[in-house]
Amino acid sequence: MKKRTVVTGGAGFLGSHLCARLLEQECQVLCVDNYFTGTRHNIEPLLGEPAFEVMRHDVTFPLYVEVDEIYNLACPASPIHYQHDPVQTTKTSVIGAINMLGLAKRLHARILQASTSEVYGDPDVHPQTEEYRGHVNLAGPRGCYDEGKRCAETLFYDYKRQHRLSIRVARIFNTYGPNMHPQDGRVVSSFITQALKNEPITIYGSGSQTRSFCYVDDLVDGLMRLMNVEGELDGPINLGNPCETTIKELAELVISLVGSRSRLEFRALPQDDPRQRCPDITRAEQLLHWSAKVPLEEGLSRTIRYFDRLLSSPNEAKKL
């Protein structure tokens, strides 16, 4: 019998890669998505697979299906998307988590939560370990995402303690790669599309803020290891690439890899934008024997090829 896996948010950037990898591992995959930010284009190559099924569904409503494990990824992830309807963002994280935990409880299925480095907010501990409790502005424009994800984590720990669920919590740091939405406003997709069109590269603030970028294949490998590792793993695990770079350095690297004529254009820094971010991945190394392998230049080059194909083919871009 094949393992039956549900991936919520399966038509999104990370979800679509995860679905593809699970199919390679001989799982039967049910992709659940309401297409808020995800697209059919992302999962089109999988639609012919007999073991792949898609369901249009919003996780803020109950879901009754029969599966063996659950990856809960449904939630808009880019600031412009999650700030578009902040109330819905919190509902998706919190009510979505309750419904998926209820599903896991009924089925005695293991459930993994896609949490985020945003639970650390604008961190004053660097790099961030899982013990760090964070520095989130609950009243600011990022609060709906950060606090929604924090509450979802609390629900996971409480379902574990109260109902003996088998849970996994991944705190995912900035991840990039093919299938990111070209208009999601995230820094990698924005810089690459701007560079390919020779348009100005929009740097928010001075560009001295840092992020640590993980290529999607590495991240998905980390998620699957976390789901499958033996034994009980109660606490969260940071997943990310600790190679830290400033946003200005990223802009310059993208320009040089694309061979672009774009210039840098400096704009206002959004409110509460974290100044620095870098994962401490000691726990992932020890417990999952995992660390990111793909260097930034190589991952960016693969992502540039993806966006180049997408932008040069109007038919492809139209499907998004």
- The residues pairing with 264 across neighbouring beta strands, listed in sequence order, are 201
- Beginning with the edge strand found earlier in the chain, give each strand of the sheet holding 167-172 in spatial order: 52-56, 28-33, 4-8, 69-72, 110-116, 167-172, 236-239
Give min distance, CB of 24 to ligand NAD, in A: 18
Which of 81, 181, 186, 225 forms a contact with ligand UDP (CB under 6 A)? 186
What radius of gyration, in Å, describes the C-alpha atoms of the chain?
19
Contacts of residue 15, defined as CB under 8 A and 6 or more positions apart, other chains included, come to 7, 8, 9, 31, 33, 38, 42, 71, 73, 74
DSSP state of 3: P
Based on the shown chain and the rule CB under 6 A, indicate whether residue 242 belongs to the binding site for ligand UDP: no
> Which among 3-11, 132-140, 200-208, 257-265 is the span making contact with ligand UDP, rule CB under 6 A?
200-208
Site residues (CB under 6 A) for ligand NAD, limited to 30-69: 33-38, 58-60
Q: 77 vs 310, which CB is nearer to ligand NAD? A: 77
Tokens of 13: 């950037």
The answer to the question of residue 202 lying near ligand UDP (CB under 6 A) is yes
Q: Identify whether the C-beta of residue 167 lies closer than 8 Å to the C-beta of residue 161.
A: no
Q: Which of 71, 145, 176, 215 is catalytic?
A: 145
Tell me the H-state helices in the chain.
Answer: 13-24, 40-43, 79-82, 86-107, 143-163, 187-196, 216-228, 247-258, 282-288, 296-312, 314-318
- Provide, rounded to whole angstroms, the least separation between the CB of residue 45 and ligand UDP: 25
Q: Which residues are paired to 4 by β-bridges? A: 28
> Which residue of 273, 282, 287, 317 would you call a contact of ligand UDP, by CB under 6 A?
273
306 is catalytic: no
89-128 binders of ligand NAD (CB under 6 A) = 92, 96, 114, 116
| Token pair of 250 as six digits | 């990223």
Residues 11-70 that bind ligand UDP (CB under 6 A): 62-64
- Whats the size of the chain, residue-wise? 320
Active site residues: 145
Binding site for ligand UDP (CB under 6 A): 62-64, 78-79, 98-99, 102-103, 105-106, 174, 185-187, 190, 202-204, 209, 211, 247, 270, 273
Binding site for ligand NAD (CB under 6 A): 8-9, 11-15, 33-38, 58-60, 73-77, 81, 92, 96, 114, 116, 172, 174-175
